[in-house]
C-alpha cells in the first residue's frame, strides 16, 4: 500500500469503510522505525533510490505526522468498536430472554 494511501486511511476510524484492519495497524506499530533508526534516516543525505525498499518505506513512514499516536488511536478505536458490538449483542440477548 502506498504511504499516501496509508496516511489517508489513518484518518478513518472503525467502523468506517476503508479503515485499516487491526492486524495491519499492529504490524505497522511493530514495524515502525525505532528512535535510533529515525535519527539515522533523518541524518541520511544520500540518494534515497539507493536504499532498500524497506528503508525507503520506513523513511516514508516518518513523513506521516504523529504516526505512533494515530496508530494508537486506531488500536483503541478497534477495541472500543469490539466492546460496543459485544455490549449490543449482550443487550439484545438479555432483552430476548425476558
In order, the DSSP letters of 10-73 are TT--TTSTTPPPHHHHHHHHHHSPPHHHHHHHHH--S-GGGS-HHHHHHHHHTTSTTHHHHHHH
Choose among 5, 53, 62: nearest CA to 33: 62
- Nearest-5° angle of CA 82, CA 83, CA 85? 65
pLDDT at 97: 64
* Percentage of residues in the chain having pLDDT higher than 90: 60
Band (4; pLDDT cuts 50, 70, 90):
confident
pLDDT per residue as tens digits for the range 78-94: 999 889 989 999 988 88
Mean pLDDT of 55-73: 92
Residue 69 has pLDDT above 60, yes or no: yes
| Domain-wise residue ranges, the chain | 3-97
Q: Cβ of 42: how many Cβ atoms within 10 Å?
A: 11
Helix axis angle, 22-31 to 67-97, nearest 10°: 150
Q: Report yes or no: 67 and 74 within 8 Å, Cβ to Cβ.
A: no
Mean pLDDT of 71-80: 92
Amino acid at each position: 500500500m502506498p504511504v499516501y494511501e496509508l496516511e489517508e486511511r489513518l484518518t478513518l476510524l472503525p467502523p468506517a469503510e476503508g479503515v485499516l484492519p487491526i492486524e495491519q495497524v499492529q504490524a505497522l506499530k511493530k514495524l515502525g522505525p525505532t528512535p535510533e533508526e529515525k535519527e539515522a534516516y533523518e541524518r541520511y543525505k544520500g540518494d534515497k533510490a539507493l536504499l532498500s525498499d524497506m528503508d525507503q518505506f520506513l523513511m516514508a513512514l516518518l513523513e506521516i505526522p504523529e504516526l505512533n499516536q494515530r496508530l494508537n488511536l486506531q488500536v483503541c478505536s478497534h477495541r472500543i468498536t469490539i466492546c460496543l458490538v459485544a455490549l449490543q449483542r449482550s443487550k439484545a440477548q438479555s432483552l430476548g430472554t425476558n
